[in-house]
Amino acid sequence: MPGPGRGVLTRPYHPEPVSRGRQGRIPETQGPRPRDRITAEQGILVTSVVSLRTLANSSSVPIVVFVDMQQEYLAKPRLPAISRIDCALDKCRKVLDHSRRIGLPVAFIRMINESAFFNRATPFVRWIEGFEPFRNEMIFERSSPSCYSSEPFTALVNQGRGGIVLAGFAGESACLSTLIDAFHRNHKVAYLCDASASHALDEMPADDVHRAVSKISGIYAEVFETDDWIEQTLPRNLGYGKNAGG
């Protein structure tokens, strides 16, 4: 066993020769070296060099959940449409880009109903442009406001300790009900209040509703603005004792 202050002995790396097929080409199963892989979806360099300390603390890594990134919220004048959604969408894009760039697990959950809204047969159930899930990202469906009404989603979060980070729509329904459910399950949650938006309620304007939702959410979860959360989840911070998942 190594003495105090000594590292673990490692051997020099000598790559094995790559076997080749009949035509002299590298088999597709080999693929490019993970160190310099370029994803078709992103077109950006992805590195497999990760902090060993982050891996050791991987239980603290949260799942970033995007709620109902669906065309129904843009389809004015349909009832589910949110009038002032553009700023929240910009923040959602920032969260998604950041999460993909640093390798956080990403999940999308969408509403599917047997009604005039969020109906699978309509075009409005589709993903908002720019929020189409990649093949390596999770997709869940549900028919009730809380994300926990999806059994596979519930099973996923139950079996992890990193908690979830919530962004999306609508704040006063899906997001708030999910936060309350998570609280009762003792799950860690971070709610990105500016990457979300709410509907107007009766005589109460949408902005006022969302401010109230953001305040109430603080009872059940940690509430962050997007830029503050991104700062906490930069590679130098993630897994180093920061409570990035709420």
Q: Is the pLDDT of residue 1 over 60?
A: no
The amino acid sitting at 243 is N
Average pLDDT taken over every residue of the chain: 81
Q: What is the CATH number of domain 56-232?
A: 3.40.50.850
What is the Cα–Cα distance from 232 to 239, expressed in whole angstroms? 10
Among residues 74, 66, 184, which one has the least CA distance to residue 133? 66
**What is the value of pTM for the model shown?**
0.74
Parse the chain into domains and list their residue ranges.
Answer: 56-232
Q: Is the pLDDT of residue 194 over 60?
A: yes
Between 8 and 104, name the one with better pLDDT. 104
Q: What's the pLDDT at 57?
A: 63
Q: 127 by DSSP, 3-state: which?
A: strand
The mean pLDDT value for 189-215 works out to 96
Among residues 80, 165, 192, which one has the least CA distance to residue 128? 80
Residues 90-143: tens digit of each pLDDT: 999 999 999 999 999 999 999 998 888 998 889 999 999 999 999 999 999 999
Percent of the chain past pLDDT 90, that is, above it, reads 61
